[in-house]
A and B are shown apart, each in its own frame.
Chain A
Amino acid sequence: MTTKSIDLSLEIWRQKDSKATGDFETYTLQNISTDMSFLEMLDVLNENLTREGRDPVAFDHDCREGICGMCGAVVNGIAHGPEPETTLCQLHMRHFNSGDTLVIEPFRSRAFPIMKDLITDRSALDRIIQAGGYVSVNTGGAPDGNAIPIPSTTAELAMDAASCIGCGACVASCPNGAAMLFTGAKISQLSLLSQGQPERKERAMAMVTAMDKEGFGNCTNERECEAVCPKGISIRNIAIMNREYVKASVLG
């Protein structure tokens, strides 16, 4: 199998620190193997920049296998790039053509301040989890794996919601900068299972309150989040969250 190479023009958001006003800078790259991932392509760019004595482009990454939720940028207006259900690290250069111009921007939202270049502070999502995205378990002997019977459809739904890696693409793509898909997934993941029942109401109230406090916008059901989610999480989880919230606030 022969490897194809492509030439690219990149327009990347450069911003020195959280206080600086950033701007786009244009770079050109030659001979990029189409077997490379998007992040490997950025690695090549950074090697070139370092050799030239220039500041490399700062971007977040960790596992590079699509499960940690650390990477992410907006490529040509779409969070995590054009491939559906793919994180930026799993996006390969074979999806682009020679001569393409790629505009690479950080995940933007009022609740995600930019730290440097493509790195944003997504700790607002952590604080939503801290508010109630957990179950309190009294320690003791480990329960038997099959001691609590759960219908397989429920288990599947909970697992679908639990596949959220917290990357923040939902917030970045939402025209309102809302974090409802993230919070909805985290709430429904626990509310569907028996372990989540004791704290169900407190959880819904606390996590929604935390979400509002962080300055995220409101959901107007635009469905952008679901379209860019690298894990394909459905907005059905937002509907579940709405039900949970109404139940908790009206019925108490």
Chain B
Amino acid sequence: MAITGCCLVLFLCSHAAGNATLFYSTQLFQAYADQLHSHPLIVSVFSKGLFLIFAVHAITGSLLFLQNRKARGQGYKIQTRAVKNSQASSTMIYSGLLILLFALIHTAVVSFGDHGKIGITISELFDSFFVSIFYLIAFIGLALHLSHGFWSMLQTFGVNHPRYNKLISRLTYVVPVFFLLIFSAIPLLFLFGTGQ
């Protein structure tokens, strides 16, 4: 989970960087897409690799969820948590499934759409209020997922030391908020008519 999660965070970084061209104009974004697709080998390797990593992450996560539910056995009559703010960790499977649903729709519409006019596809897509709202909800789900996932990834890798824990606890907020802002800015810009 942690290794694939780490790869997916790196993908999010590159995706966010590409998206950032949209803040300038859809033309620049189109130029970026054209440039990217002029290297079919790179696109092919990365998209297939990404699909594989995403699939492994989703399948392992679901199997873990089912295994763990079985290991718990009978639940308690009084269901309570000793840890406060455990919403993100206890809802990983649900935020994960929301991201999966989003990824399926997003790739179907955008990635498998016509790359030659992806800039137009995007601006048409976000003209719809409901599509924009769906994207925003998915990004909130992603931020929730990352707020547990990022820290959890480091813990699994064995990165837990008093010297770094303060930094890690700050990053636990910074990383999801960063991706939430940079991704949701795009539908928001189009929604409020300032996107071009």
Contact = CB atoms under 8 A, between A and B. Distances in A.
Interface stretch (A26-34, A71-79, A89-97, A192-200): A71-79
B71 A74 contact: no
A177 B155 CA distance: 18
Contacts of A77: 76-80
A224 B81 contact: yes
A10 B158 CA distance: 42
B89 A105 contact: no
A224 B89 CA distance: 11
Interface stretch (B34-42, B62-70, B123-131, B138-146): B62-70
Contact of B77 (A24, A109, A220, A235): A24
A239 B168 CA distance: 14
Contacts of A103: 77-78
Given A177-B72, A220-B92, A235-B160, A78 B82 contact: yes
Nearest to A238: B155
B64 A228 contact: no
Given A76-B78, A218-B64, A220-B92, A109 B71 contact: yes
Contact of B82 (A11, A177, A224, A240): A224
A184 B89 CA distance: 20
A110 B70 contact: yes
A57 interface: no
A219 B156 CA distance: 9
A168 B68 CA distance: 17
A174 B148 CA distance: 16
B78 A109 contact: no
Nearest to A222: B89
Interface residues of A, number: 39
Interface string B145-158: 00010011001111
A79 B83 CA distance: 12
B75 interface: yes
Given A103-B77, A236-B160, A176 B71 contact: yes
A8 to B, nearest CB: 15
A111 B160 CA distance: 28
A108 B74 CA distance: 7
A174 B82 CA distance: 10
B64 A221 contact: no
Contacts of A224: 81-83, 86
A45 to B, nearest CB: 18
B170 interface: no
A224 B82 CA distance: 6
B169 interface: no
A56 interface: no
A78 B80 contact: yes
A215 interface: yes
A143 B151 CA distance: 42
A109 B74 CA distance: 7
Interface in A86-117: 103, 105, 108-111
Contacts of B64: 218, 220
Interface string B98-138: 00000000000000000000000000000000000000000
Interface of A: 11, 24, 74, 76-79, 103, 105, 108-111, 173-178, 215-224, 227-228, 235-236, 238-240, 242-243, 246
16 contacts: A76-B78, A103-B78, A105-B77, A108-B74, A109-B71, A110-B71, A175-B68, A177-B68, A177-B71, A178-B68, A217-B70, A218-B68, A218-B71, A222-B86, A223-B86, A223-B89
Interface of B: 64, 67-83, 86, 89-90, 92, 148, 151-152, 155-161
